[in-house]
Amino acid sequence: MSIFDILGPVMVGPSSSHTAGAVRMGQMTRRLLGGEPESAEILLSGSFALTGEGHGTPRAILAGLMGMDPDDERIPQSFELAGEHGIKFSFGTVNLRDAHPNSALIRAKREGRDVEVGASSPGGGRIRVFSLDGLPTSFSGEVPTLIVRCEDRPGHVSRVTGAVAAQGINMSKLQVERDTRGGTALMVIECDQRIPYKVKVAISAIEGIYNVTRLNPGEESK
Partner 1 sequence: MSAVTSIAGLLKVSAEKKLPLWKTVQLTDCAEQDMSEADSWEKMKNMLSVMRETDQSYDSRRRSLSGLSGGDGGKMEDYVRSGRSISGPLVGEIIAAALRMGECNACMKRIVAAPTAGACGVLPAVVIPCGKAMGLPDERLIEALYVAAGVGQVIAQRASISGAQSGCQAEIGAASAMAAAALTHMAGGSSEQIANASALALKSLLGLVCDPVGGLVEVPCVKRNAAGAVIALTAAEMSLAGIESRVPPDEVIDAMREVGEKMSPTLRETAEGGLAATETARKFRENR
Q: Does residue number 181 form part of the binding site for partner 1 (CB under 8 A)?
A: no
Amino acid of residue 54: G
Helix (H, G, I), strand (E, B) or coil at 205: coil
Nearer to partner 1 among residue 47 and residue 193 (C-beta): 47
Nearer to partner 1 among residue 121 and residue 137 (C-beta): 121
C-alpha to C-alpha distance for 215 and 144, rounded to whole angstroms = 6
Applying CB under 8 A, which part among 43-51, 90-98, 137-145, 153-161 lies near partner 1?
43-51
Nearer to partner 1 among residue 49 and residue 65 (C-beta): 49
- How distant, in Å, are the alpha carbons of 18, 121, 156, 178, 189 from that of 25? 10, 8, 29, 23, 19
Among 39, 47, 93, 167, binds partner 1 (CB under 8 A): 47
C-alpha to C-alpha distance for 152 and 184, rounded to whole angstroms = 5
Report the side by side order of strands in the sheet with 171-178.
Answer: 171-178, 184-191, 145-151, 209-215
Applying CB under 8 A, which part among 32-40, 121-129, 160-168, 185-193 lies near partner 1?
121-129
Nearer to partner 1 among residue 53 and residue 114 (C-beta): 53
What residues from 55 to 74 belong to the interface with partner 1 (CB under 8 A)?
55-56, 59, 71, 73
Helices 197-204 and 156-165, axial angle in degrees (round to 10): 150
Q: Does residue number 95 form part of the binding site for partner 1 (CB under 8 A)?
A: no
What residues make contact with partner 1 under the rule CB under 8 A?
Answer: 1-16, 19-20, 47, 50-51, 53-56, 59, 71, 73, 75-76, 123-125
